[in-house]
């Protein structure tokens, strides 16, 4: 899978060379290139912004450097062969535009995007990119404006770090133990259960005794109850949208005990 990121702050994306994602890049499990938008300007000052038509505060990103950058990325050599390559070969690549005005990014979107052979990220700064770029790009890419949530960042770079990490870790081989992907928050619509390690008593605090029982069925039930309790307490809206078929009698009992009324 290939990732291309276009930004006026390419150094902002340096953390992608660290940890599991960096290792996956080194090992060739994914291709990653960061492009400086200013390399696609033609004036002496490498200008990427200008004042907004209609007036108002702030600056807007000029369209032409974006078109030059996006055309260049479209013509880059083929990505690393990936699992989804054959199935998606005919489709235009996905262009992700991080924006607080986008659709909210979610584990299911990460899952979907991890199946793509190629993802391009266009990091806007200032008040945003001239809207005509998105219109022009929609004839060459499948454009996805995506937001991290309902708060405002100064630009798309931090959002791209989060999205690339969420997507890349779903690529087979990037995370060492694939089982650890299955038992995580949001994978089954519930928050994760709490975890403990040695010592069994730490500063006077014990671990839940079920975890010492060696009784796998009871441990699984304990963890499931903790997931339900936490989700009811912290994110009740997740339970409200959950497929009710996914809850058995023991689950409903745990929710009642947690004081969750549906
Ligand atoms: Cl994707 N971009 C910006 N600039 N701000 C955000 C965001 C994205 N998601 C939440 N806030």
Q: pLDDT at position 93, please?
A: 97
pLDDT digits (tens, 9 = 90+) for 20-71: 999 999 999 999 999 999 999 999 999 999 999 999 999 999 999 999 999 9
pLDDT in tens, 136-179: 999 999 999 999 999 999 999 999 999 999 999 999 999 988 88
pLDDT band, residue 114 (cuts 50/70/90): very high
User: What is d(CA 173, CA 148) in angstroms, rounded to the nearest whole number?
Assistant: 25
Q: Report whether residue 152 contacts ligand 1, using a CB cutoff of 6 Å.
A: yes
Ligand 1 touching residue 151 (CB < 6 A): yes
103 Cα: distance to centroid of ligand 1 (angstroms): 10
160 vs 181: which has the higher pLDDT:
160
**Is ligand 1 within 6 A of the CB of residue 148?**
yes
Q: By alpha-carbon position, which residue is closest to atom 8 of ligand 1?
A: 99
Determine how many CB atoms are found less than 10 A away from the CB of residue 35.
20
Ligand 1 proximity of 7 Cβ (cutoff 6 Å): no
Res. 256: pLDDT tops 90: yes
- Who's near 99: CB < 8 A, 6+ residues apart? 124, 128, 145, 146, 147, 156
State if residue 99 touches ligand 1 by the CB under 6 angstroms criterion: yes
Q: Ligand 1 atom closest to Cα of 159? A: 1
Mean pLDDT lowest for which of 15-24, 100-109, 155-164, 214-223?
15-24
Q: Return the residue matching tokens 């519930």.
A: 190
CA 149 to ligand 1 center in whole angstroms: 7
């Amino acid at each position: 899978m290939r990732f291309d990121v276009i930004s006026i702050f390419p150094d902002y994306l340096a953390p992608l060379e660290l940890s599991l994602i960096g290792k996956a890049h080194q090992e060739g499990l994914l291709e990653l290139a960061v492009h400086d938008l200013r390399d696609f300007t033609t004036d002496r000052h490498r200008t990427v912004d200008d004042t907004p038509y209609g007036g108002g505060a702030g600056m807007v990103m000029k369209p032409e450097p974006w078109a030059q950058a996006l055309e260049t990325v479209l013509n880059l050599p083929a990505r690393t062969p990936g699992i989804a390559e054959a199935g998606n070969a005919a489709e235009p690549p996905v262009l992700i535009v991080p924006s607080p005005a986008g659709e909210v990014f979610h584990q299911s979107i990460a899952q979907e995007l991890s199946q793509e052979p190629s993802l391009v990220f266009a990091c806007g700064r200032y008040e945003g990119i001239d809207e005509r770029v998105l219109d022009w790009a929609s004839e060459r890419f499948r454009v996805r404006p995506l937001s991290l949530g309902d708060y405002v960042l100064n630009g798309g770079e931090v959002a791209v770090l989060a999205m690339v990490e969420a997507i890349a870790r779903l690529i087979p081989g990037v995370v060492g133990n694939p089982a650890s992907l299955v038992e995580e928050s949001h994978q089954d619509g519930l928050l994760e259960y709490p975890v403990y390690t040695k010592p069994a008593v730490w500063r006077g605090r014990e671990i839940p005794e079920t975890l010492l029982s060696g009784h796998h069925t009871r441990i699984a039930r304990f963890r499931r109850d903790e997931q339900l309790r936490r989700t009811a307490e912290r994110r009740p809206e997740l339970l409200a949208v959950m497929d009710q078929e996914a809850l058995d009698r023991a689950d409903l009992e745990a929710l009642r005990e947690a004081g969750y009324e549906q």
